[in-house]
Amino acid sequence: MHTGRYLLTISALLCAVELHAQRYAFDEGSIRLAISLNYANYGGELYQPNLTARIESDRITEFAIRPSVAYFLFERLALGVDLTYATVSQNDKNNLVTLFSRTTWSAGPSIAYFFGERQSPIFPFFSASYAYQSSSEQEFETSRNVRTTGTALRFSGGMAIMFGKQASLNVEAFYRIDQRKNQRTNRSASGNVFGLEVGASLFIF
């Protein structure tokens, strides 16, 4: 009788251990902590400086850091929150004068879906996010600080390259639509951004 109970208990424990071992990074209940760096080059009405002097401006190069946390509600489907800090500056065509500089904070919800088999070393993914932005700009001609607020709608696709079971290197391309409003003039403008992003993730499960 006691031997049968011991065997049953041991079998139950082994089953529990096996079920736990079958969990993986993109499983339901997993948490994804990520940090990314991106590079973007863009232009458009929103990004053109308002100059009285005849100075031809160059396209803008942006560098940003984007930490994020996400929770997998279902296998491969995660909802999260993104925070972004970006610095931007634009020079004239000859790189002699800085026409303006901008610092931007943004935060908002995100959703991502990952594809691939459990044992696959690479997981393609698609993600989308919506963020509220707050920016501070320094203008070249007026030497005046300008504050803008707005939103950013972002779509991206890429791949997570696994290193072990709980870490990945992430490479993605993104497209972002920015809309901002100048708090001093109430003037609104929009623009779009194409960029590349590289980062790393840690999975807790």
**Which domain does 183 fall in, by range?**
26-204
Q: Which two tokens stand for residue 20?
A: 């736990």
Q: Please indicate, yes or no, if residue 172 is contained in any of the structural domains.
A: yes
Q: What are phi and psi of 185, to 5 degrees?
A: -100, -10
Quote the pLDDT of residue 185: 82
Q: Report if residue 64 sits inside a domain.
A: yes
Residue 1 belongs to a domain: no
Cβ-count burial 155-180 (b if 16+ within 10 Å, e if not) = ebebbbebeeeeebebebebebebbb
Is the residue at 19 inside a domain?
no
**Structural domain includes residue 159:** yes
Name the residue with tokens 């904070």. 105
Q: Which residues contact 56 (CB under 8 A, 6 or more apart)?
A: 92, 93
Domains held by the chain: number: 1
Position 166: which residue type?
Answer: Q
CATH number of residue 49's parent domain:
2.40.160.20
In a domain, 155, yes or no: yes
Confidence at residue 141, expressed as pLDDT on a 0 to 100 scale: 56
C-alpha torsion 41→44→46→48, nearest 10: 90
Residuewise pLDDT in 10s, the chain (205 residues)? 555 555 555 555 444 444 445 689 999 999 999 999 988 776 666 666 555 444 555 667 788 999 999 999 999 999 999 999 999 877 766 666 667 788 999 999 999 999 999 999 999 999 999 999 999 887 665 566 888 999 999 999 999 999 999 999 999 999 999 999 888 788 888 888 888 999 999 999 9
Is there a domain that residue 145 lies in? yes
Evaluate whether residue 196 is within a structural domain.
yes
